Structures are given as C-alpha cells and as structure tokens.
C-alpha cells in the first residue's frame, strides 16, 4: 500500500531532503545537495520566495519506507507576470514505480487545483530562476554546479502520467584545447570598436559587491525578460542568490560590460563546485565535509558558464562575443579542463550559434514538461 503524506515538521523536512541519498546510493554520478542549503531553501521564513508564493512538500511511503517525494509550487509572481494559472512541480524523486509516481502527482495536483491552478509545469525548484529541467539525454557523468540530475526512467514515468514536452534546454561543453581561439583573437578588435561607443568591459569589484550586485540585478531582470517563463527576481531573492554565489566567485569569471558607468551586459561563470560536493556524504558539512570543501576548492578544474546577457538595444554589437572571449581567455590562463555553458533554450539560435561557433559541443538536454489539471 502506498501512502502520500504532507511534510509538516522538521523531521519530515529532513526525510524529504535525505531521500535522494538513498535512492541514488549506487549511482556514481549522483551529487548530494548541501543539507543546510536545501533546508533553508525549503523553509518558509528562510528564503524570500515565501514572501509572495507557497509550496507544499509530499512524501510517498510504501511498507513504512520512503519511496518518493515531490513539491507542489504556487508561484504567484509567475502567474501575475503572465496572467496565467500555472502551477509547478519540483524536487521530484521516485523509485521506478508508476503507481508511486502517480500517487505523488495526484497529491500535488490536488493541492494545486485547490489554489485555482489549471496547469502544472516542471520540474522547477522553484522557477526557471533556480534549478530546473528533467535530464533526458547525457547520463554519462555527474551534473555540474546548480544543474539537475535524475535517473533515465523519470521521463517514462512522467509521460505515462500525461505530461508532454513544453520546451527543451541545452547544455554545451568545452574541453581544454578543443575550443576556437578565434573568438579570443577577434575579441580585441571588437572591444576596440566598442570603446568608440564608450562601451568597456571589466571584472566585478568584490570590494563594492553590494552596489555591483544591485546593478547586475537590474540588467538580469531586463536581459532575461523574454526568456522561458522568466519572472523578475525580487530584490531579496536576487540578494539571497548573490550572497551564495559570492562564496565561490572568481572575479575574473564575472565580466561586466558598461557604458558611461551603466552596466549593459554581463557574464558569469562559476567553479564546478560539484567536483567537491560529490565527495561530501549526504551533503553534511560536519564533521569532515567542511574540511573537504576548503581543502579542495582551489583544485577545481572546471566551470559552468551560468549567465550571459545583454540588455535590449545593445545586442548584436559584439558584446556577447567579447564576454565569452574574456571567459575563455581566463579559462585558458587557469589551465582548466572543461567548461559547461548551460542552460540555453533549444530554439534560441541567437545564443546557441555563437556557442557552437567557438567550439561548444551539445552534450546534454533537459526538458520542461507540462500537463493540464
């Protein structure tokens, strides 16, 4: 017998966070999330998402053992932005059992329907501003920092429930020596041309992080306004994310383009911290995880190009190529082994073609699915 219950206390939250560790215990590609980060993310009062929206966590039990989990998400800012009645699901993990998956989604959809929502999309934790997408192609290695991971059978489970493709997301990979240096050579000429329009590139100033972060937030909300399901981050949400990213940030991998002191574009690549997290058992920093984190941070030899955006009116001027070029130049100087550019929309040729032109190889795909409820 399968029983699906709402998570309503700290004990249930701990079980919710820890379930994937058991599910993927034999999977060498699984990377545990840090427990304290997941706990704060899923705790009203800890994360600013809860100031405008709600979630409900569910656990599925079979013979008194946890066999699945899911979060039903009512992102009211998303619905106000697009004037829709969409719900989301996230944090979905499940054994390979259609009945268990069905029961989990029955519970999540009932909760969403009670909120007056008529469609469910996902996976998204909590939106496309955070970790999102179902891995559908490229199961040959661990995910990079802040990218999702799941077993191959998940897609079959979801399609059997009635989910269909909404859109696919792409991840590209560069390896050392296997990328085009043409962009780096062209970059210098393009930068000179941009200077004639008073557009210059520089690295982020961490000593003035608060002001820099506020300016980047404005660009982020403008540059991504037409992206898939994009919802502008509130000031508190952006600051929360920026504070986390600052802990792993290499200033040379955060490049700003500005004109007359106003930021008009930026690119951010972060170290692939998953190289360390994969070795931290059950995502616990104590007693030895913190030591591993601090000891190995400088040994990371891969990056994820997480964000690259230019505000409308400044696109197709060559700024994007210069931002990529700067990152590649530093990537080479640091003798790194690989970089992932992710994610991009499957149909976004304006972004995908430049990535491919400088040697990016499409190696993973993710999917956002949808279903009427």
Residues in the chain: 373
Question: For 142-176, what is each residue's pLDDT tens digit?
Answer: 999 999 999 999 999 999 999 999 999 999 998 88
Residues 89 and 159 occupy one common structural domain: yes
Could you tell me if 266 and 307 are in contact, meaning their C-beta atoms sit under 8 angstroms apart? yes
Determine the average pLDDT of the residues in 323-350. 88
Determine the average pLDDT of the residues in 212-240. 82
128: helix, coil or strand? coil
Measured CA to CA, the distance from residue 53 to residue 66 in angstroms comes to: 27
Determine the average pLDDT of the residues in 54-70. 97
Domain boundary among 154, 169, 184: 169
Determine the average pLDDT of the residues in 221-238. 78
Residues 146 and 209 occupy one common structural domain: no
C-alpha dist (Å) from residue 127 to 88, 122, 124? 8, 8, 5
Domain membership of residue 373 (yes or no) is: no
Q: 220 pLDDT band (50/70/90 cuts)? A: confident
Determine the average pLDDT of the residues in 60-82. 95
Residues 33 and 126 occupy one common structural domain: yes
Domain membership of residue 137 (yes or no) is: yes
Question: For 356-372, what is each residue's pLDDT tens digit?
Answer: 877 889 999 999 999 99
Segment among 69-73, 227-231, 232-236, 330-334 with least mean pLDDT: 227-231
Measured CA to CA, the distance from residue 238 to residue 224 in angstroms comes to: 14
State the CATH number of the domain containing residue 353. Answer: 3.40.630.30
Q: Give residue 228's pLDDT.
A: 62
Question: For 93-144, what is each residue's pLDDT tens digit?
Answer: 999 999 999 999 999 999 999 999 999 999 999 888 889 999 999 999 999 9
Residues 178 and 155 occupy one common structural domain: no
Q: Give residue 103's pLDDT.
A: 98
Domain membership of residue 268 (yes or no) is: yes
Q: Give residue 226's pLDDT.
A: 58
Residue 312 domain boundaries = 174-365
Q: Give residue 185's pLDDT.
A: 73
Largest CA distance in the chain: 71
Q: What is this structure's pTM?
A: 0.92
Domain boundary among 169, 187, 218: 169
Domain membership of residue 370 (yes or no) is: no
Residues 104 and 158 occupy one common structural domain: yes
Question: 3-state secondary structure string, 287-326?
Answer: CCHHHHHHHHHHHCCEEEEEEEEECCCCCCCCHHHHHHHH
Residues 222 and 332 occupy one common structural domain: yes
Residues 219 and 125 occupy one common structural domain: no
Domain boundary among 152, 169, 186: 169
12: helix, coil or strand? helix
Residues 135 and 231 occupy one common structural domain: no
Determine the average pLDDT of the residues in 289-315. 83
Domain membership of residue 236 (yes or no) is: yes
Q: Give residue 37's pLDDT.
A: 92
Q: Give residue 361's pLDDT.
A: 92
Of the two residues 356 and 74, the one the predictor is more confident about is: 74
Residues 135 and 180 occupy one common structural domain: no
Which residue is it, tokens 């891995």? 135
Determine the average pLDDT of the residues in 340-348. 91
Determine the average pLDDT of the residues in 298-321. 88
Q: 243 pLDDT band (50/70/90 cuts)? A: confident
Question: For 174-202, what is each residue's pLDDT tens digit?
Answer: 888 766 666 667 777 888 889 888 999 99
Residues 198 and 311 occupy one common structural domain: yes
% of the chain surpassing 90 pLDDT? 64
Angle at 75 (CA atoms; ends 146, 241), nearest 5 degrees: 35
Domain membership of residue 78 (yes or no) is: yes
Q: Give residue 9's pLDDT.
A: 96
Number of separate domains in the chain: 2
Q: Give residue 315's pLDDT.
A: 85
Q: Give residue 237's pLDDT.
A: 92
Could you tell me if 366 and 166 are in contact, meaning their C-beta atoms sit under 8 angstroms apart? no
Domain membership of residue 134 (yes or no) is: yes
Mean pLDDT over all residues of the chain? Answer: 91
Torsion of CA 148, 320, 244, 137, to 10 degrees: 10
Domain membership of residue 372 (yes or no) is: no
Residues 55 and 179 occupy one common structural domain: no
Measured CA to CA, the distance from residue 114 to residue 292 in angstroms comes to: 45
Residues 72 and 100 occupy one common structural domain: yes
């Amino acid at each position: 017998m399968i029983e699906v219950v709402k998570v309503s206390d700290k004990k249930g939250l701990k079980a919710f966070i820890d379930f994937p560790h058991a599910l993927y215990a034999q999977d060498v590609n699984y990377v545990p999330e840090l427990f304290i980060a997941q706990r704060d993310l899923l705790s009203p009062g800890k994360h600013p998402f809860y100031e405008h929206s709600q979630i409900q966590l569910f656990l599925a039990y079979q013979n008194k053992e946890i066999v699945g989990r899911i979060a039903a998400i009512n992102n009211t800012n998303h619905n106000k932005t697009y004037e829709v009645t969409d719900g989301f699901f996230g944090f979905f993990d499940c054994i390979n059992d259609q009945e268990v998956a069905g029961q989990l989604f029955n519970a999540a959809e009932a909760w969403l329907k009670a909120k007056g929502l008529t469609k469910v999309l996902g996976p998204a934790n909590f939106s496309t501003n955070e970790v999102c997408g179902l891995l559908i192609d490229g199961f040959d290695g661990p995910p990079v920092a802040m990218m999702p991971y799941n077993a191959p059978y998940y897609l079959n489970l979801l399609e059997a429930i009635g989910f269909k493709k909404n859109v696919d997301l792409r991840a590209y990979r560069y390896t050392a020596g296997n990328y085009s240096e043409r962009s780096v050579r062209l970059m210098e000429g393009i930068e000179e041309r941009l200077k004639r329009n008073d557009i210059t590139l520089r690295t982020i100033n961490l000593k003035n992080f608060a002001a820099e972060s506020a300016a980047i937030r404005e660009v982020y909300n403008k540059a991504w306004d037409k992206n898939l399901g994009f919802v502008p981050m509130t000031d508190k949400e952006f600051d929360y994310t920026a504070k986390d990213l600052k802990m792993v940030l290499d200033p040379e991998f955060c490049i700003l383009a500005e004109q007359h002191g106003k930021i008009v574009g930026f690119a951010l690549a972060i170290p692939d911290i998953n190289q360390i997290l994969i070795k931290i058992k059950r995502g616990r920093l104590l007693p030895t995880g913190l030591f591993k984190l601090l000891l190995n941070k400088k040994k990371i030899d891969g990056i994820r190009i997480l964000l690259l955006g230019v505000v409308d009116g400044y696109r197709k001027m060559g700024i994007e190529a210069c931002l990529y070029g700067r990152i590649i130049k530093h990537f080479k100087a640091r003798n790194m082994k690989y970089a992932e550019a992710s994610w991009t929309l499957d149909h976004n040729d304006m972004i995908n073609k430049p990535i491919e032109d400088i040697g990016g190889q499409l190696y993973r795909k993710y999917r956002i699915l949808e279903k009427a409820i």
